[in-house]
Structures are given as C-alpha cells and as structure tokens.
Structure 1
Amino acid sequence: MYMLALADLIKPGMRGAFYGRHSTDKQTMETQRSMAYEFAKKYGCMITCEYEDAGVSARKKKLDDRDGISLLLKEAIDGKFDFVLINHHDRIARNPTEHQKIRMILAGCNIPVVISSSESLYDSGDFIVDLIKDGTSKMEVDNTRIRTRDTAKSILIKGKWTGGKAPFGYRYDKINKSFSQCGEELTIVRRLYELYRNREGFQSISRLISHEFGKTINKATVRWIITNPFYAGYMSHHRKSEHSRNSITPIENWLMIKSDLIEPIMSLDEWKETWAIFEQRKTGNLNPKMYKTSFFLSNLLNCSVCNSILIGKDQTTFDKKRNKLYGKKWYFCPTCKYKIELDRIHTVIDVVLKDLKSQNLETVSLYVYNEL
C-alpha cells in the first residue's frame, strides 16, 4: 500500500530536483547524486535541477544560512520542479523546527520529498511520526558530537594529537605520529608574539607581517596563534566555543596537557604573560592605543586658562608625492580652544625628568611626599 502511495505521487515525465549536503570537505556528493538519478530512472522521471550544500554542517549552520536549501525552497515556490529527491532524512536538516518549516513550505507547493535510499516519503503525513524521526535525527548527531568530544579528550590526556591541521609553524607526520618544525613560519610566529607584547593589535600585526615577510596572515589567524598554548608545548581541549566559529572560551574551561610530541618555542610562563595581555585587552582593562600614541601626556595636562583636561589633536598630513610631512600635533583644550604644540611641552617634560634623575632619590621621594 505504501509503495502504491509513492507510485501515485511520482509519475513518469515529472521534473525532479536533487538536494545533497555533506558536512566536511573530505566527503563527496557522488553517492547521494547517483542514488537520486537511479530513482528517477526507475520511475521514468528526469532530474532537472540540482541544489547542493557541500561542506556545510546542518547542526552549525541555520536553514537560512545554507545557500542550497534556501534556493531550493525559493524555486519550489516558483514551480521549477515537481518533486525533491534526498538521500537521507538528515541530509535536509538536523533541527526538528527546520524539518517542520521545510515540510510546510513544500506541502504548500504540493511538492513531495522522496528519500531515495529507502524509497520512502520524507513527509509521512503523520505529525507525531515525523516529529519522532526529526527528534531521533537530532539525538543521533548530538550523541555523535558528545562521543567525538569525549574521545578527543581521552586522546589528549595521553598527550597525543587529536587530529586536524597542525598549528602554523608545525607539520604533523601521520605515519610516525610526530611534529616537525617549519623554521620560516616559526620565525613569523616569534615576531607575532614580540609585536603583540609591544602592544600592537591584531590588524596592525597582520599588516606588519605582510610588509616584513611578504606573507599574508589575516587578523583572525594572528589572534588564533597568539592564544594557542601549543607554542609553549601544550595541547588544549575546549579552547574554541562550540557555538561560534572564532570565539575562544575562558581559559579556566580548557584542558591543557603538556605533550612530548611538541618542541616548544617559548616557556609556559612566557605564553601566559601574552595570554594575560589578551584578557586585559578583551575586558577593556588595557587599551592598546594608550601605548601607541605620541600624545603620552593626554589626560595628564590641565589647561592654564580654564583648567580643563587637554586632549591630543593631530593636524599633520603626509604628502606622498613630495615625501614630506605637513602640519603639527597639539595638546588642545576642548572648552576654551587653548592649544600648545606637542614638541614644545614634551621638551619641557624632558628637562624636568632629567632634573629629577640628577636628584638624590630620598630628596625626590620627600618632595613627592610633601606635595601629596
């Protein structure tokens, strides 16, 4: 009776649409596609449209963010095909809410969805049955994710590599299960850390590395290198947030294991110092611009006219054609518009500091104490 129902829906000459999806770049669409074409041939139909989401996780990417399925639903409304072929229930979605949304849209267009691997209907017509299938699909992927995470954790505890691409500057030999260093890349890594400790930002480091080494490294990669304890000889687990592609979890949630497989380029203490700078910047307790400005007396000088705090104002411009700098830098009062040239006040400060250096430490300390 079920086969008759399917045969009544899918008739010779109908236009079919194939939808395929896989989660990683290591997978292919060939099996899904070939089974769809075999089904179409068996029922005397033609596949006139193909929609694919290759290397796209249905768990990580929402329905509206997947180009293939989004286009399929749009063109279903436009009537470009008569039925849809998928390889398996979980290829089209993983989330029960998304399953129901797809069913509603396609049912409204009178377009059935057929699972080619079992020659069954995606929409059984029974809400409870479909809900159970959708829930089971989600439970399967959740259980797989948990098992994968637990397996990776147990491998890491033994100090072994859990897989994937080795960090920038290292290569992993799968046969010998060992890491080797790439000297040229690690020179760049050392420079990255040096620049970051000198209060350069990720974007600034990216530009400087490109200029110095002719190597393009975007700011996201710089951030990922700076926050990776691998360079201190430690492997980490749960550093990356599950719900965001580039988000880094709090360090107290990490599992960090020292590995004999890694030849480090810095000590753990050195790496932790860098991490402390990262956390201070992230929370706003350390503003990198405070260390990169020529106006190092900003918020320290008061206007002699109205007693307001002076701010830095850069009125310089660089003429590339003449290779010449025009204009000046000023400390400026936003209230009464009083201004004093930067070099002039810095010269005064230099004289004061030199005078202080020549004084006896006890004399200076007593002077400061009396002022306070």
Structure 2
Amino acid sequence: MKAVAYYRRSTNIQENSIEMQRQMARNASYQKALLIDEEFIDDAVSGRKKTIQEREGLSSMLSKIESGEITDVFVYKRDRLARNALDYLQIFQLLKEKQVKVHFTAENEIPIQYSPAGELIELLMAGIIQREGEQIVERISETIKANFQRGKNPGNLPFGYEFDKLTKTISRDVEKLSVVKSIFDAVNSNDFKTMRQLTDYLKDNNIQRDEKPWSSQMARNVLSNPTYMGIRLLNLSGEVLKSRYDALAIVTESEWLTAQEALEVLTSKRKPVEKEKVTFHLENLVFCKQCNEPLQPKKGMKNKESIHYYSCRTHQIKLIKSELENQVLDSCKQFFQELLKTHLPDFHQRRRNEMSKTLENQIDEMEQNLHKLNQRLERKIEKWLNENRQFKKEKLEADLLNLLQQIADEKERIHFIEKEMIELTQTIEFPSDNLDIHESTMRVYFRDIISKIEVEEHMMNIEFKHPFLSTKEVLHTRVS
C-alpha cells in the first residue's frame, strides 16, 4: 500500500506546469506526514480529447488502484484527472470502490466524500469541469479566429512563404514562387493525362523543389492550395475560415480554377477492369476415381474462347464446368423426386410434431420460472418500500434491478420459442417436378444432398447423403 502523485499538463494550456504540481504535492505530503512513493505524469496530454486508455500515466495509476496497491493520491485539482464528465465519474467510482484517499493540493478545491451527498457533489463537479474545459477551448478558438482574420497568425504556409513571428508579416521567397508559377503554367498550357506525365515534364525541364525532383503528391499539394491566388483557408474544428491575402497571389483566380480542372483529370482514378467471377459449385465434391484426389478448377481456351473445367492432371480428366454441373443437378433433382415417393413427408411431419411438443414443454417450464421471478419481485418491492436504512435500501435496489433483468431475459426466451412454434405450424410445400435451383444457391444445394462424386474416363458415380441411394451415369461432358 502506498501514496502516489499524479500530474498532468494540457496540450493547449501551458498553465500549472508539472514542476509546480510536483512542488504542491510534496508540500501537501509533508503536512500529512506521507511519503510519495511513486509519481505518474502525463505531460502535454489533453484531458478532454484523450481517453483514459490513451493517457499512459493515468491509465497506469488506475490499474494499480484497481489491484489495491494504492491508498492515497495527491493531485492538483479534479480537472487534472479528467475534463470529460463521463471519464471523471468513471475514475470517481473506482476511487470510491477502493476507498482511496484523494488529497487535492490546490486551494479551495472541495475534498471528495464517499457518501450519497458526496456522490451528488461529484456529479455536479463533473459537469462543471467539462463545461470549464469547453469554455477554455471556445476562448482559444475565438482567439485563433481573430488572429487569422487580422493576419497575425495565417496558419501553416505552403512552399514559397514564411511567417516572421516578430514582425507578424509573411515574406515571399521569389525564387521558390517562380518555381510554383512554372508548375501552374505547365498544367494550364499542356494536355497532361496523368500526374506522372506532369512530374516527368518538370524533371525534363529541370523544374525542381530545393534541388530535388517534384513528386506527384508535392505537385498536387501546391496546385490545390488557394494561397497562390491570395486566399488563405483555416479549418478549425470543422469550421472553415477564409481570409484574403492579395499580396501573396502569384496566379489569378481564373488561372487557379483552370489548374483545378486539370488537376481533377490528372488525379481521377481509372476504374479497374472487373475480373469475371466464376464459382465452381462442385469444388471439393468431385473426385478422380483412380487417385481419389479432388478435381481442380481450371481455366483454358477452346476455339479462341475461354472455358472453365474440372481437371485431374495425373489421369488426363478434363470436364467442362457448366455441362458437368448441369448433369449433376439433373441427377440431384431425380434423387429428390425419388425421396418424395418414400415416407419422407410423413417422417418430416412426425419430426415436426415431436419438436413442437418439446418446445411446448420448454415454454411451460419458462412460464413457471417467470411466475416465481415475479413473486420474488413483489416481495423485494415490499421490503424496499418498508426499509428505512439507506445501505439496506441500496442493496435492495441492486437486487430489484437484477430481478427485472432476469424477467426481461426470460420473456425474451419465451418469445423466441413461440416464434419457432409458429414456424413449425406453417405448411411445408414440397417441390414439384419442376425443381428450380438458382445459380446463387447451387453450391449450397449440392453440398446439402451430395456426399461425394467420383469420375473416371466415361462414368460418374454420385453418392447422396442417404444410406440407400446413389446413381451411376455415363459422362458426356469432356474438354477435347
């Protein structure tokens, strides 16, 4: 068991430095005669944008609290733990569960109390903390907007410009901007089809960037930046600000728009040619009788047209895919019709009746259990109404929630079984002689009723998933 300290400094607010928080924690620990055994630090980490898991120091400390290693925590203020209300409440619940003593080192920070009134205070504080964080962000955002509009902070400048923080002015690099102008001229005066053609042109004409060739991405970034026509854009949390800087323009608005049209052509992706998708429905079902190896799906050419076939290279078997599958399908239909002439429909109905009876018994058991749960619920509610002790009332509330969840689950299970029973009562229509199998379901259909297909030079043997039925046929399908 040990005492620890946690320090955090925000990414966008430089107040309350780590060193200041450390000194405050040490002073407080001296006053309470506690030795700080370990420090957890998140430097330049936002408590609003980062999740608990993304904050290494906080996550590590909470893990040790959960394992029972920590008894006391020194921290400057609540907002150091979290700026997000839900994150803060999650941390508070863990501190409460482990009864960790939290020592705030800032003046006027209300101490944490693990009581019903204390929980209400922490709930209110969580909302205040989050709102304070949001107000800070709003103030910073407004300052950034104002500085951008006044030209005090133009944001990240593109190739050819630099910002002097002392004079608050933007300087132009004439040599670099002449290179950029050459790129705009090249795009607007040539009929390039791809970015590769553009970069090759720049390389051939020795138009370089800092003595290096232009890549496609670098050229694209330059051509698409409106700064070169005197307009600066700033994307601030989804809001796009626009400001004119006419002194920065090296191309006219018309020239820039023409370049955008050309850039759209250069960066448009060609649609990939869709390959023909062929499904071999009998794959791993059809075998060579001699070697007992599955026939492999293959693609070839016949009379200058592509064909698909099943092949055993060892024994020179090549069977055209479509003809073999159609022949097998005809055999499957015949097999199914033979089944219908047996006692299959009667057997199926008996099986449905048995399943229906089983489901009825399950519903009876569940309804009895549901009745018992409701009786327990009534007794618990009565106890809760008559209970005056707060800790007992809280325990009963937890039991009530658990019972309500059990009742809901049991009702859901009953509803599910009732749906199954309705499906069992629906009339089953067995297929007629004109059994239609769609191409998309053929693979599943074959695997449902076929165990194995063996082929040799002129014969095919189909073993169905029925102990007494199989069929032998003469093979007509072959690749010459």
TM-score range with shorter-chain normalisation? 0.5 to 0.7
Contact 2:76/2:106, CA 8 A, preserved across alignment: yes
Q: Are 2:248 and 1:266 aligned?
A: no
For 1:184 and 1:172, the matched residues in 2 are separated by: 17
2:70 partner SS? coil
- Counterpart of 1:128 (choices 114, 120, 127) is 120
- Counterpart of 2:144 (choices 149, 152, 174) is 152
2:53 partner SS? helix
Q: Are 2:45 and 1:56 aligned?
A: yes
What residue number does 2:229 align with? Answer: 232
Q: TM-score, normalised on structure 2?
A: 0.45
- Counterpart of 1:287 (choices 256, 260, 268) is 268
What residue number does 2:24 align with? Answer: 35
What residue number does 1:18 align with? Answer: 6
Q: Deviations over 1:118-167 (max 9, x none)?
A: 37565333122112222112212222322333343344444x13365544
The structure where helix makes up a greater share of residues is: 2
Contact 2:4/2:36, CA 8 A, preserved across alignment: yes
Q: TM-score, normalised on structure 1?
A: 0.56
If you compute each CA radius of gyration, which structure gives the higher value, 1 or 2? 2
Q: Are 2:132 and 1:140 aligned?
A: yes
Change (3 A) 1:30 1:337: farther
Change (3 A) 1:15 1:60: closer
Change (3 A) 1:22 1:184: farther
Q: C-alpha displacement at 1:101, in angstroms?
A: 0.4
Q: C-alpha displacement at 1:100, in angstroms?
A: 0.5
Q: Are 2:237 and 1:256 aligned?
A: no
Q: Are 2:72 and 1:83 aligned?
A: yes
List aligned pairs for 1:266-345, cutoff 5 A.
Answer: 266-272=251-257, 287-289=268-270, 336-337=305-306
Contact 1:89/1:122, CA 8 A, preserved across alignment: no
Change (3 A) 1:135 1:213: farther
Letter in 2 for 1:255: L
2:50 partner SS? coil
Contact 2:179/2:208, CA 8 A, preserved across alignment: no
1:106 partner SS? helix
For 1:222 and 1:76, the matched residues in 2 are separated by: 53
- Counterpart of 2:172 (choices 151, 176, 181) is 181
1:254 partner SS? strand
For 2:30 and 2:219, the matched residues in 1 are separated by: 52
Contact 1:235/1:256, CA 8 A, preserved across alignment: yes
What residue number does 1:321 align with? Answer: none
Change (3 A) 1:213 1:93: farther
Q: Are 2:63 and 1:71 aligned?
A: no
Q: C-alpha displacement at 1:43, in angstroms?
A: 1.8
What residue number does 1:107 align with? Answer: 96
Contact 2:231/2:243, CA 8 A, preserved across alignment: yes
Stretches of structure 1 lacking an aligned partner (at least 5 in a row):
1-12, 243-248, 300-307, 309-331, 339-372
Contact 1:36/1:87, CA 8 A, preserved across alignment: yes
For 2:102 and 2:220, the matched residues in 1 are separated by: 44
2:248 partner SS? coil
Contact 2:83/2:130, CA 8 A, preserved across alignment: yes
Q: C-alpha displacement at 1:190, in angstroms?
A: 6.7
Change (3 A) 1:61 1:15: closer
Bigger mean CA offset, 52-61 vs 224-233:
224-233
1:288 partner SS? coil
For 1:223 and 1:65, the matched residues in 2 are separated by: 34
For 1:25 and 1:147, the matched residues in 2 are separated by: 11
Letter in 1 for 2:244: K
Change (3 A) 1:267 1:211: closer
Q: C-alpha displacement at 1:54, in angstroms?
A: 1.8
For 1:270 and 1:162, the matched residues in 2 are separated by: 27
Contact 2:8/2:44, CA 8 A, preserved across alignment: no
2:46 partner SS? coil
What residue number does 1:345 align with? Answer: none
* Percent of aligned pairs sharing the same letter: 22
Q: C-alpha displacement at 1:103, in angstroms?
A: 0.9
What residue number does 1:5 align with? Answer: none
Change (3 A) 1:17 1:157: closer
Q: C-alpha displacement at 1:40, in angstroms?
A: 1.6
What residue number does 1:303 align with? Answer: none
Letter in 1 for 2:93: M
Change (3 A) 1:14 1:157: closer
Letter in 2 for 1:89: R
